[in-house]
Chains A and B, each alone.
Chain A
Amino acid sequence: MGDYNVFHIMPWSGSYAIYFFVIGISAAMFFFSAMSWYRPEFKTLRMPAFYVSFVLLACGGLLLIGDLTQPLRFLNTMNPAYLNLSSPLAWGALNLVSFGLVSVAYFLTMRKNDEVMSRRLAVMGALLALGLPIYTGFDLTVHQNRPVWNTPLMPVLFVALSILSGAAVASFIAKAKEEKLVVMLRSLMLWSAGAVAAMLVSLLGTTAYGGSGSELTFMLMTSGSLGVIFVGLGILVGTATPIAMLLTPYGKQHTGIMTAGALLLVGGMALRYSILIGGQIVQTYF
């Protein structure tokens, strides 16, 4: 409000969007590696997907810790005396560390060729991997005063974005001759992108009709400062175009799937960024 106000900053900067992006891909890649024990078409992805997942987990973890103003105090989140379980961040920290530990154990058992244990760890890791996009969604959704964030869609949207981005990265690793895998990745991309598109329609609807703060956020995200990123890159280039492309004959070829994958990655990043920043713009003026 006001003709004069002190300036407030956005607490969560764009680096959180990068974190959401990499951790989403990491989770999905682990999921694909775990799937390889149960679905033969994923077998060739087992090790490469795991490596990508682990590297991105390390990058995401470092990014998150680096963004704290007291990076070494990230250990406080592991202190049972401090842990506040009403905060989704506390659950997220536990989820992240457990996922890291299970990933290391999974790698070691795979190196030992211990199939029984690897299968068990794959299931455990896949469940923890699913928790990563869910907790990042909850991080946003619990803030009742934030337009766009405060909707039950967020955790589900982040899961769909994670599968979509992971399948896009996996399409670059898969070889054209692995037909069954490529077909499976195409359908994963298509269904998750379709789910994202449906959720975006709901999100835009509830934001546009959600009271003055939400209405202003809708305006800023569609025709305001975030319009190019959200509508241009996120919706048109990064969701609608790849869906249309995947439905054409070209989208059934490996190169077409990879092209759609590249666009989905652009869209996935743009959507995460614009949702993160969009929920904070209006508040900085209050």
Chain B
Amino acid sequence: MSNDLTITIDGAPEPRGPYVHARQHGALVYVTAQIGRDPKTGDFVKGGFEAEFNQAIDNVEAILKAAGSSLDRVVKAQIEFVDETDLDAMNRIYGERFHEPLPARTSFGAAFLWKGARVQIDCVAALD
């Protein structure tokens, strides 16, 4: 397949750096790591880790939808978070949002994230 499209949408937080929201290439769509910023205001949502992680997944979901994919077609997810005490909440929310067939996943603690974000998530998903 020769399609190669960049995608940046209004329904996810405006990029605050030199990147696009997603790239379609071949049968896959690649999504830039999303943090818990409200797409309307661009600010972090209030409510701590859980609110941030849910919003980050909402942002990924909106981008995937615009790209012609969805959370249930995610092949691989990668999560970075800064506080190890958030691990249980991360796994619980992830389990609420992602369903069978679950993606392969890599997650780890980062020393810090952009502008004090507590968590971020990126993914690769199928288009078909």
A, B in one complex? no
B residues contacting A by CB (< 8 A) are none
